[in-house]
Structure 1
Amino acid sequence: MTTLANARPGQRRSLWSRIRSGEAHLVLFFLLPASIGLVAFYLWPAIRGAYLSFTDYNVLSDPTPVGLANYQRLLGDDLFWNSLGVTAVYVVINIGVQTIVAVLLALLLHRATSSTLVRGIALMPYFVANVVVALVWYFMLDYQVGIVNQMLTWLGIDPVAFFGDPELAVPTIAMINVWRHAGYTALLVFAGLQAINPSVYEAADLDGAGERAKFFRITLPLLRPILAMVLVITVTGSFQVFDTVSVTTNGGPVNATRVIYLYIYNLAFGQLDFGYASAISVVLFLLLAGVAFLQIKLLRSNQTDLD
């Protein structure tokens, strides 16, 4: 196929003329719906939120400019720092466990089965709404009547307050979301495994390399770009946890699970303090952008160790 970069002058003009005549209109036609959604539901709310972060706004009256007062208030807000710390703990547990489980599951799907049905079953939890998953696990882990605690009682173990213990609540919520998202993450890793040339493993077999050596010296290095992308997606998504916490603990016990998104929601829709909630949202956006940038740089997502 002739490209604009290597085409001769006459060919280049014909390509541009085709784009101007019909192909550009076709491209714009397909991009228009997504562009409208992007502007209406992402770009404009982001700009509006950034503006409101410099105001005192409660919906009932017009925004009143307050300069950097909301950001100064944020520095001394113990609840903000607590919610940020709780979110960070959740992210570390969720991402650490989910990544390990997803890689192992992807390897299992890649080597043990070629059945589309089995691979689809591994992905099924992801298609269930977060609220439904949270409710199911909430009742299963209930201290009084939950089936998990009933089984523990049959085994002679005392019931466990999974959502009532401040030390167990965050890990419990993290494991619930690992159960739901591990299949989807494994699918992304599985796609990366499919792209690895089998001849690389054949050469390793000829050299007498074992399974462990092949995994750490071939598979993981070649999966670096995929794993970098997966980590950026999962870390950003984990910071946005809200529905699971809202359904199960609503921030309790004693703010032990009050994640940053729940805090923003309570400020905006519970206390009608939209200006301060917008300021925290802006800070969270900058934080996530910085984390994503560092991940891409440190993990060298554009190359593998074998480049």
Structure 2
Amino acid sequence: MTATVTTESPPRRPAAPRAKRRMSRQTRVGLLFVLPCFLLFLVFRFGPAIAGVVLSLFDYTIDGQLNWKGLDNFVRLFDDPTFWSALRVTAIYTVISVPVTLAVSVGMALLVRRGFRGSKLFRSIFFLPVVTSLVLAAVVFKWVFSADGPWASFVHLLGFPQESWLTNSFLVLPALAIVSVWARFGYDMLIILARLQDLPREQEEAALVDGAGPWKRFRYIILPHLKPALFFVVVIETTASFQVFDLVYVMTGGGPVRSSYTLVYQLYDQGFQYFDRGYASAIGVVLFVLTLVIALVQRWVIGRKG
């Protein structure tokens, strides 16, 4: 009889730890590439935000002296009638600007969603105001809405008085909202258009076969599909409306009679005109809290799943 000798091969290392080490190494490399951007964001975003919260608790003037005031700046703010007037103006401007921007963005996205001759050209034209300097656009629209501008002449042809909308306390906010819609709808249109292109055409075709009209197809098929994009657009537009400053600064300067005097304009006045930096920081903190609360409400109303 011959004895067979079996040699056992050395046990192999499991592949899972090696894969985990490889993924861990890839993660470290990715974080290393992200680190410079994160540091810039930390220094120029989180740093000023934290400094603003701290300064709101102090009396910080132009000479650089810090005097502890606690919540006195916030008590003074809530007792200030100018703050409540600026908050009312900001809220009215937001109520006018955001729904119109949303409606125009959805309408334009539906208009150019289908591929037709010149559709790409129209998309580029609609997006052009987004990359245009807003200060330059504000200078041009300041002339457009003047008493001798084309807008006043057009309105006069319709039977209304020929006057500057920027000097009318009732019309100044709609005029600013028109410029804001013109400047921002192109970006929102692309967000909504990207979401529309993910909608299966079979759903619309099936609804069309069942006899559903355009409004029913939009309400029951397109609108539910657009819900995530609409939530994003509403949040960023609301935040931008609460932070409006450049249009007001260039076109109206907060007038007439503070009819366009917004919260950010009050922050600018207190911080850079009167050099009351602590009070200006308190306005910034309150503005942040307001936008955060409104975003959470919008998340609950629009962003939640049906």
Asked whether the two chains share a fold, i.e. TM above 0.5, the reply is: yes
1:65-80, aligned counterparts within 5 Å?
65-80=68-83
Determine helix, strand or coil for the equivalent of 2:29. helix
1:165 aligns with 2:168: yes
1:272 to 265, 270, 275: 275
1:124 aligns with 2:128: yes
CA contact (8 A) 2:145 2:175 kept: no
Q: Percent identity?
A: 36
Q: Relative to 1, partners in 2 of residues 1:25 and 1:153: Cα closer, same or farther, differing over 3 Å?
A: same
2:183 to 174, 180, 185: 180
Q: Relative to 1, partners in 2 of residues 1:282 and 1:18: Cα closer, same or farther, differing over 3 Å?
A: same
Aligned mates of 2:79, 2:133 — CA distance in 1: 36
Moved more, 12-21 or 182-191: 12-21
Aligned mates of 1:33, 1:120 — CA distance in 2: 33
Superposition deviation, residue 154 in structure 1? 6.4
Indicate the residue corresponding to 2:139 in structure 1: 135
Gaps of 5+ in 1: 1-8
Q: Relative to 1, partners in 2 of residues 1:199 and 1:11: Cα closer, same or farther, differing over 3 Å?
A: farther
Aligned mates of 1:238, 1:10 — CA distance in 2: 57
Q: 4+ residue stretches of structure 1 with deviation over 6 A?
A: none
1:39 to 31, 36, 42: 42
1:214 aligns with 2:200: no
Indicate the residue corresponding to 1:94 in structure 2: 97
How well do the aligned residues superpose, as a CA RMSD in angstroms? 1.8
Q: Relative to 1, partners in 2 of residues 1:283 and 1:15: Cα closer, same or farther, differing over 3 Å?
A: farther
1:28-67, aligned counterparts within 5 Å?
28-67=31-70
Superposition deviation, residue 156 in structure 1? 6.7
Superposition deviation, residue 139 in structure 1? 1.0
1:148 to 151, 157, 168: 151
Determine helix, strand or coil for the equivalent of 1:64. strand
Superposition deviation, residue 287 in structure 1? 1.0
Gaps of 5+ in 2: 1-12
Aligned mates of 1:268, 1:281 — CA distance in 2: 10
TM-score (norm: length of structure 2): 0.91
Determine helix, strand or coil for the equivalent of 2:63. coil
Aligned mates of 2:120, 2:152 — CA distance in 1: 35
Superposition deviation, residue 10 in structure 1? 4.2
Moved more, 284-293 or 30-39: 30-39
Aligned mates of 1:74, 1:268 — CA distance in 2: 14
